[in-house]
Chains A and B, each alone.
Chain A
């Protein structure tokens, strides 16, 4: 046990404001952005290598995820009717602004690609749109890390180097996992590989965050801590099944895929809620800042 650090505060009250972002809207949006973005990549690969079932599922997931994510994002606004104000200016200092300029074209392109997939009309235009969506996909899956990190919330901000890899890996895991659930095994090999590789990236980056001492404590204890543990265990189980039986058993492949999707969801909720916890307790602000001041004074 590490002893509770001593620090002063104003009646134990928080220094930072609680983020007003709603649960489940925002963690769900983080998840859907990763799922949709990586599915767009999967769809293009499937189209290029002639895997029609995988292509269809991935295109529909990309479009559906983007649409649902947009709904979640708009629903979270205090003034949803003013959603378009997001596109009024482009501000590189605001990840939410940058993200709006990623989400809007991604939604349009992935929607167009899915529409041609379903109707069978204008297949070439659809393919072109799909390539466009695949270009916006990886930024869509990773910019959300900057969205959380570019705040004063210690648990998020201090993880700004690792979070993009956690979110990217988690998105790959979700996209690969969902395709494993919905696509026959003989076309799902790329989905399995994407999920496995995504899981590896995510686990390594998340472990690095968890080791960060007091600022990372919210990721280790309480409800967010439990969510992070569930996510890690689910990822491990899903990866083991995928390696051992993903190629042969349709059923086990589906189970592993669903487990990957669940793990990705748990990761997003865990990280989101750890940030809320980190804003609630003044020790996460005062103690690291005091340490920083002492280190500076020692120079």
Chain B
């Protein structure tokens, strides 16, 4: 059993892959939403590469977002937020193609994905071992082991993983485990035309992200902030983290997620105490008057 909570600098080592020299570095995504243009190339590339089945098409009225959410058959999801403009527009250094010309509106676009948490609740609660930590520090489901118990679904603090209805098993982003093993870049990052999705070694990505935030702050974009980059946060930091231009909940992300297993010790202690209470209660029931 690995560690359940707090800072963890070698996830793979914690998962039994030995010392840092014995396994590849931890790989991840840095999604810089300040340069996302909402083209959904990532969504398409992911579907194509991973042969993820179609999961319905619905006009939602939620700006350009008809994908709606991450799920068993949506492993990248581009969120679109249109907010009335109350601050003067600043040049974010976006490519010229940009968003549609809508005056008086700020556009927020963000490509969401599984966070490949340092402390992944989905993996912790999986009773079959179908969910496992790869040598790259990512979190992957083995479909040939998953029995569709669904425990990972409510365990994920980000609402990422889900069961595929007709199939019964759980699916989510694999961070293109097959491509990583071949030394390739995941399909979404490869397809992203603006380098909003950056793939690489997590330590390097974190440094790059810190520089990018600083640069944006210098340019007056005070709203820029990192999300999931802090190794001391409630999930020990995300393997896939983000640069956001508004509060996380505006993008449908929890503002302060904490992995449920942080409280596992307390849960088992209370279960034990309650079981002991039952034993006492059972014995006591047979004491006293016979009838």
Seen from chain A, the residues whose Cβ lies within 8 Å of a Cβ on chain B are 7-11, 13-21, 37-38, 41-42, 44-45, 48-49, 76-80, 82-83, 85-86, 88-89, 91-97, 100, 134, 137-139, 141-143, 145-146, 149-153, 156-157, 160-165, 167-168, 171-172, 176, 185-186, 189-191, 193-194, 197-198, 201, 247, 275, 279, 282, 285-286, 289-290, 292-293
Within 8 A of A (CB), among B248-272: 249-257, 260-261, 263-264, 266-268, 270-271
The verdict on A49 contacting B286 (CB below 8 Å), with A93-B1, A93-B124, A157-B263 known, is yes
14 more A-B residue pairs beyond the given contacts A76-B150, A190-B285, with a C-beta to C-beta distance below 8 A: A13-B69, A17-B162, A18-B154, A76-B149, A78-B163, A79-B147, A79-B169, A85-B146, A138-B279, A139-B275, A149-B260, A152-B156, A152-B257, A197-B284
User: Within the assembled complex, what's the spacing in Å between the Cα atoms of A170 and B102?
Assistant: 58
Given the interface pairs A160-B270, A286-B254, the reply to whether A96 lies near B281 with Cβ below 8 Å is no
Q: Mark B229-241, 1 if CB is under 8 A from A, else 0.
A: 0000000000000
A–B complex contacts, Cβ < 8 Å, 6 sampled: A10-B81, A17-B162, A77-B148, A95-B267, A137-B278, A286-B254
Known contacts A86-B128, A190-B286; decide if A16 and B157 are in contact (CB<8 Å).
yes
Interface residue ranges, B against A (CB under 8 Å):
1, 4, 60, 62, 68-69, 71, 79, 81, 121, 124-130, 145-151, 153-163, 167-170, 247, 249-257, 260-261, 263-264, 266-268, 270-271, 273-279, 281-286, 288-291
Q: How far is the CB of B66 from chain A (nearest CB, A)?
A: 12
Q: Which 5 residue pairs across A and B have the least CB separation, nearest first?
A: A78-B148, A78-B168, A10-B252, A82-B147, A164-B274
* Cα distance, A38 to B136, chains bound together (Å): 46
A82 and B148 within 8 A (CB): yes
Tell which of A85, A137, A201, A275 has the most Cβ of chain B within 10 Å.
Answer: A85
Cβ contact within 8 Å between A193 and B271? no
- B154 & A16 in contact (Cβ 8 Å cutoff): yes
A17 to B247, CA, bound (A): 20
With the chains together, A42 CA to B270 CA distance in Å?
A: 22
CA distance A63 to B172 in the complex (A): 38
Pick the residue among A10, A41, A146 that contacts B271 (CB under 8 A): A146
Name the residue in A49, A82, A145, A165 with the highest tally of chain B Cβ atoms < 10 Å from its Cβ.
A82
A128 and B141 alpha carbons, distance in the complex (Å): 41
Evaluate contact between B275 and A95: CB separation under 8 angstroms. no
Residue from B148, B250, B284 in contact with A193 in the complex, judged by beta carbons closer than 8 Å: B284
- The listed residue with most A CB atoms (<10 A of its CB), out of B125, B155, B249, B264, is B249
- Judge whether B288 and A285 touch: CB under 8 Å: no
- Which residues on A sit within 8 Å (CB–CB) of B156? 16-17, 152
